[in-house]
Amino acid sequence: MRKLEDIVSLCKRRGFIFPGSDVYGGFAGTWDFGPLGVTLKKKIMDEWWSYFVDNRDDIYGIDAAILMNPKTWVASGHVATFADPLVECKECKSRFRADKIADGISESVTTEEFLATHTKCPVCGKENWGPIRKFNMMFRTHVGAVLPEDTQENPELAEKNIAYLRPETAQGIFTNYKNVVDTFYPSLPFGLAQQGKAFRNEISPRDFILRDRECSQMEIEYFVHPNNWEAEFEKIYKECDNFFKTRMGLKLSDINHLEVAPEDRAHYSKRTVDFMFNYPNGEEELMGLAYRTDFDLQNIARESGKSMDYRDKITGETFVPHVIEPSIGVERLFLAVISTAYTEDEVNGEKRIVLKLPENLAPYKFCVSPLLKNKPELVAKAKEVYDKLRAKYGNVTWDDSGNIGKRYRKQDEIGTPKCVVIDFDTLEDSTVTVRDRDTTEQTRVKINDL
């Protein structure tokens, strides 16, 4: 059975993910992607872009600024509603998100409901709680040369210089809707896609990279005629499942589609389906698919005074489009991919850890090794093979450390599908040994056939 602590250990041991600022003792809710992790992460993001943007003619890409006019977050409702229920232990002063430490309650929990659960503090073990308070999760910052201390006696100046690190990438898409319509005039339905950083001041970041304070998102806002939203929603629903199966190597049996109840939906949504994934620590949200109606565009029109109308090219009808939004957290997808791939088995009576990553996601496609690194003729031939494969595939690695068995185990753990070994027979007949990661079978192959 895969365990989260085993995956965390593998990620650090093999250079996928390190704790943020590790040399200084870490920084809660932050993680650094190492050489293999950043490669896997980039491949995941590239596959998503290829599937949803490059292979379609109805979705356009954008890259909006992280810092946006503060009116953005007023119009979107984030200033008023983007909050979690915060509860503080009166004994040890530790703070937690109430709905995450008590069983059977929702984000809209009241103080009375929380106290009725008789939850003990995870830190001190006492049951002495303060009242539930709403905690806005947006990170505040100040722009310009005015410092926060300069504004203490001037509230108007303070408000003028406040900005936020974006808590989602979606609003950068909505604020560019009119720009794209005016410059490209695309036919409906059409979508705008974006990948980028988002920041959330989580009360209690936890579960490795599942809930952290800095993450990457991949989002599409798909603009549709108000009468057609249901049909378009179902199309995207199926496309997301197909993407997870064909591009990410996930098992659909590990994904549960949860129809979110009206009282649990975000304030902008009229229908939401959460794609829940069976992670090692239990079922958690992998992505969300939401029908946002015209909520965002109407709010922008109200706050900016500019029309968000779309004029149909054929009928001449004028209306504000409705929106369907598939939103995926990259780190959550990363963990789903690596959790699915993580396997423990036995080879010749010896326990083995292997990442059975899909070949399109594996950080390296091949590992090339000389059987013995102290034999110049083997090293020279191996370098020749390495250069050929690298010229063709790019993501090829070299390994001549330790014996061949240890090299195999290392490459198994980082998910390399094939190991190519150059031995003395190679010098005679130009064949190499190709060892398969998943089956451990070894085959002799001509160099030119690699």
Q: pLDDT higher for 205 or 232? A: 232
Give 433's pLDDT tier (boundaries 50, 70, 90).
Answer: very high
pLDDT tens column, 149-204: 666 666 666 667 788 899 999 999 999 999 999 999 999 999 999 999 999 888 87
- In a domain, residue 128? The reply is no
Residues in contact with 278: Cβ distance below 8 Å, sequence separation at least 6, in sequence order: 254, 255, 256
Residues in contact with 366: Cβ distance below 8 Å, sequence separation at least 6, in sequence order: 389, 393, 396, 397, 416, 417, 418, 419, 420, 450
- In a domain, residue 163? The reply is no
pLDDT tens column, 75-85: 888 887 778 88
Question: How high is the pLDDT of residue 158?
Answer: 61
Give 146's pLDDT tier (boundaries 50, 70, 90).
Answer: low
Predicted TM-score (pTM) of this structure: 0.89
Question: How high is the pLDDT of residue 157?
Answer: 61
Instruction: Please indicate, yes or no, whether residues 204 and 319 belong to a single structural domain of this protein.
Output: yes
Distance CA 216, CA 218 (A): 7
Q: How far is CA 426 from CA 330, 370, 381, 435, in A?
A: 43, 10, 8, 15
Instruction: Please indicate, yes or no, whether residues 205 and 331 belong to a single structural domain of this protein.
Output: yes
- In a domain, residue 211? The reply is yes
Instruction: Please indicate, yes or no, whether residues 248 and 383 belong to a single structural domain of this protein.
Output: no
Q: What is the CATH number of the domain that holds 382?
A: 3.40.50.800
The DSSP secondary-structure symbol of 370 reads E
Instruction: Please indicate, yes or no, whether residues 254 and 194 belong to a single structural domain of this protein.
Output: yes
Question: How high is the pLDDT of residue 170?
Answer: 93
Instruction: Please indicate, yes or no, whether residues 372 and 320 belong to a single structural domain of this protein.
Output: no
Instruction: Quote the number of domains for the chain.
Output: 2
Range of the domain at 437: 364-449
Instruction: Please indicate, yes or no, whether residues 326 and 410 belong to a single structural domain of this protein.
Output: no
Instruction: Please indicate, yes or no, whether residues 246 and 325 belong to a single structural domain of this protein.
Output: yes
Instruction: Please indicate, yes or no, whether residues 232 and 331 belong to a single structural domain of this protein.
Output: yes
Give 350's pLDDT tier (boundaries 50, 70, 90).
Answer: confident
- In a domain, residue 178? The reply is no
- In a domain, residue 10? The reply is yes
Question: How high is the pLDDT of residue 230?
Answer: 96
Mean pLDDT of the chain: 92
SS3 293: strand
Question: How high is the pLDDT of residue 81?
Answer: 76
Instruction: Please indicate, yes or no, whether residues 201 and 60 belong to a single structural domain of this protein.
Output: yes
Q: What is the CATH number of the domain that holds 55?
A: 3.30.930.10
pLDDT reading at 255 higher than 60:
yes
- In a domain, residue 324? The reply is yes
- In a domain, residue 253? The reply is yes
Distance CA 30, CA 328 (A): 18
